[in-house]
């Protein structure tokens, strides 16, 4: 019988990616992180597109400090602010709704389904 063995260096990369996604889930889930809940409540509603960078920076700062403060079940020791900014941009893409009648506007609301999925992954 042939088995599929994964080389150790590839396994480390897989584990690192799992840890990265676990960090994202725990930090950006409003049910697991009170600071994220407060941030999303603060940003509920309609915003000008020019405000997006401010929200991305706030999300990145939250993720970076969440990791640095060891607030989650995993900590990435070589996690950079650039990586936090990239994750924050992705998060804004998930949570923002573009008003196609006025592309200069985005809305943050009704993101419960995002948090429900994350909560299931975190809490089981």
| pLDDT of 5 above 70 | no
pLDDT band at residue 1, thresholds of 50, 70 and 90? very low
| pLDDT of 12 above 80 | yes
Per the CB < 8 A criterion, the answer to whether 116 and 29 are in contact is: no
- State the burial class of residue 55 (Cβ atoms within 10 Å of its Cβ: 0-12, 13-18, 19+): buried
Over the stretch 64-119, which tens digit does the pLDDT of each residue have? 999 999 999 999 999 999 999 999 999 999 999 987 788 889 999 878 899 999 99
State the number of CA atoms in the 13 A half-sphere of 121 facing the CB: 18
Helix (H) or strand (E) holding 98: strand 96-98
């Amino acid at each position: 019988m042939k088995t599929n063995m994964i080389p150790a260096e590839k396994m480390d990369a897989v584990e690192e990616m799992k840890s990265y996604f676990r960090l994202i889930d725990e930090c950006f889930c409003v049910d697991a992180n009170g600071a994220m809940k407060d941030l999303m409540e603060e940003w509920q509603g309609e915003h000008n597109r020019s405000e997006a960078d401010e929200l991305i920076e706030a999300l990145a700062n939250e993720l970076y400090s969440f990791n640095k403060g060891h607030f989650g079940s995993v900590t990435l020791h070589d996690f950079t602010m650039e990586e936090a900014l990239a994750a924050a941009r992705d998060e804004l893409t998930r949570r923002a709704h573009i008003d196609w009648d006025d592309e200069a506007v985005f809305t943050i609301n009704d993101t419960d389904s995002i948090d429900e999925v994350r909560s299931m992954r975190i809490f089981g």
